[in-house]
Amino acid sequence: MLDLKRQYRPLHQELLDAVGHVLEAQQFILGEPVAAFERAAASQLGVAHALGCSSGTDALWLALAAAGIGPGDGVVTTPFSFFASVSAILRAGARPVLADIEPTTFNLDSEAVQAVLKAPQPVPIRAILPVHLYGQCADWTAFSRLERKFGLKLIEDAAQAYGAEWKGTKAGALGDAAAFSFYPTKNLSAAGDAGMVTTNSDDLAERAKMLRQHGMRRRYYHDEIGWNARMDGFQGAILSVKLKYIDGWNQARRTVARRYHALFREAGLAESGPYPFHGVVLPHEVAGSKHVWHQYVIRTARRDALRAFLTERRIGSEIYYPVPLHMQEALKSLGYKEGDFPEAERAAREVLALPIFPELREDEQQTVVAAVAEFLS
Ligand SMILES: Cc1ncc(COP(=O)(O)O)c(C=O)c1O
């Protein structure tokens, strides 16, 4: 599914040197290794502030809390994402309100969000938290319109989308604040847990910085209840090295995705969708958006049987995500039930992520597509 060693081998010495400098400086938490990464990331993304933190989950919480979202506030998000998109809202003390997804991109559907905003809600809605799922930005034109119309905050869950763009603006520079994850499987990855908050607001950045370090502006003077959400120096140093390569890696992912499209079409398996019939619905890149293909996700009707067939042939695949968030045991208290979000539920039954990473070879992709063709025949 993902061979991280292929990325590591050519960077081996550069990474060892970077880690060595942190050891020499004995600066293990925040400090210059993290500050240098923050400056480079902010400049690359075209955003005023980037703040390194301990994980993508903490980045989401920090972004929400620093934007002033808390108890008594509602935040609209998607039921089709990793658990943290919703749990971070709860962690901030706010109430997640869900809206269904678009069947073609799997991203939060702005029309469904608009319907939620117009309907009576148990709490006032203060923010929308769209997720740039699989590496493609949510429809930011539509969400910006809703932001203005309803006077809301927009927080990006950009955990899967470092380098993605919407109409020429990079993920991380679109919303009031954004959260990134550098979990080792992400397209920009640390050597452990790490994340980042970005924002163009000086006030929000200052507040996030304070909350990241137990609510301290001055050492041992606590203005608010923050948390320990700091980034390690080692992660900052490693990420600074990888930042130099991320554009090339994202470009290589785009090539891999294009090759999959071509191979599936040549094999006569591609269907126009949005739902699968006998074959495979290929993932769709929206006009004006730059997808970074964190995942290459097909839709297919007999998904579980196909996955078992691929596993037998030692071909990796994954289901992101098998259970929509409104049907998770831990989120029962939100009061949703099966049937509330039919697009998310259908996607959870049909999606299958195929191997994709910058170093994936064409012959390996041919093997994957040949196996899917064999199963479908
Ligand atoms: C969409 C999304 N949001 C949030 C997160 C949380 O990031 P982390 O695992 O770094 O805490 C992830 C990563 O798993 C993710 O995919």
With a CB cutoff of 8 Å and minimum separation 6, the contacts of 312 are none
Other C-beta atoms closer than 10 Å to the C-beta of 225 total: 9
Ligand 1 site, residue 131, Cβ cutoff 6 A: yes
Give distance in angstroms: CA of 60 to centre of ligand 1: 9
Q: What sign has the CA pseudo-torsion 57, 246, 172, 201?
A: positive
Give distance in angstroms: CA of 163 to centre of ligand 1: 16
Residue 169: the pLDDT is 98
Residue 266 CA: distances (Å) to CA of 279, 300, 330: 13, 17, 44
Residue 203: the pLDDT is 98
Ligand 1 site, residue 136, Cβ cutoff 6 A: no
pLDDT in 10s for each residue of the chain, 377 residues: 899 999 999 999 999 999 999 999 999 999 999 999 999 999 999 999 999 999 999 999 999 999 999 999 999 999 999 999 999 999 999 999 999 999 999 999 999 999 999 999 999 999 999 999 999 999 999 999 999 999 999 999 999 999 999 999 999 999 999 999 999 999 999 999 999 999 999 999 999 999 999 999 999 999 999 999 999 999 999 999 999 999 999 999 999 999 999 999 999 999 998 999 999 999 999 999 999 999 999 999 999 999 999 999 999 999 999 999 999 999 999 999 999 999 999 999 999 999 999 999 999 999 999 999 999 99
> In a mutational test of the pocket of ligand 1, which residue from 57, 106, 136, 197 has the highest number of ligand atoms less than 8 Å from its CB?
57
* Closest to 242 (Cα-Cα) out of 198, 196, 178, 176: 196
Token pair of 120 as six digits? 């009576």
With a CB cutoff of 8 Å and minimum separation 6, the contacts of 41 are 50, 196, 198, 239, 243
Q: Of all protein residues, whose CA lies closest to atom 14 belonging to ligand 1?
A: 82
Q: Would strands 74-77 and 125-129 be described as parallel, antiparallel, or unpaired?
A: parallel
Contacts by 321-329, CB closer than 8 A, 24 or more apart: 321/80, 321/81, 321/82, 321/348, 322/348, 323/348, 324/79, 324/80, 324/348, 325/78, 325/79, 325/80, 325/81, 325/83, 325/85, 325/86, 325/98, 326/79, 326/98, 328/83
Other C-beta atoms closer than 10 Å to the C-beta of 267 total: 17
Residue 188: the pLDDT is 98
Ligand 1 site, residue 181, Cβ cutoff 6 A: yes
Give distance in angstroms: CA of 299 to centre of ligand 1: 22
The phi, psi pair for 226, rounded to 5°, reads: -95, -140
Which phi-psi region, left, alpha or beta, contains residue 268 (left: φ > 0; alpha: ψ -120 to 50)?
left
Nearest ligand 1 atom, CA 58: 11
Report how far residue 84's alpha carbon sits from residue 95's, in angstroms, rounded to the nearest whole number: 14
Residue 120: the pLDDT is 95
Ligand 1 site, residue 195, Cβ cutoff 6 A: yes
Question: Where are the extended beta strands (E) located within the chain?
Answer: 49-53, 74-77, 95-98, 125-129, 153-157, 165-166, 169-170, 177-181, 195-199, 216-218, 221-222, 270-271, 280-281, 289-290, 296-300, 351-354
Report how far residue 161's alpha carbon sits from residue 136's, in angstroms, rounded to the nearest whole number: 7
Report how far residue 160's alpha carbon sits from residue 250's, in angstroms, rounded to the nearest whole number: 12
Give distance in angstroms: CA of 9 to centre of ligand 1: 26
Token pair of 203 as six digits? 């006030």
First to last CA, the chain: 23
Give distance in angstroms: CA of 272 to centre of ligand 1: 30
Whether this model's pTM surpasses 0.85: yes
Give distance in angstroms: CA of 85 to centre of ligand 1: 7
Give distance in angstroms: CA of 81 to centre of ligand 1: 9
Ligand 1 site, residue 160, Cβ cutoff 6 A: yes
Give helix 4-25 / helix 233-243 axis angle, nearest 10°.
Answer: 130
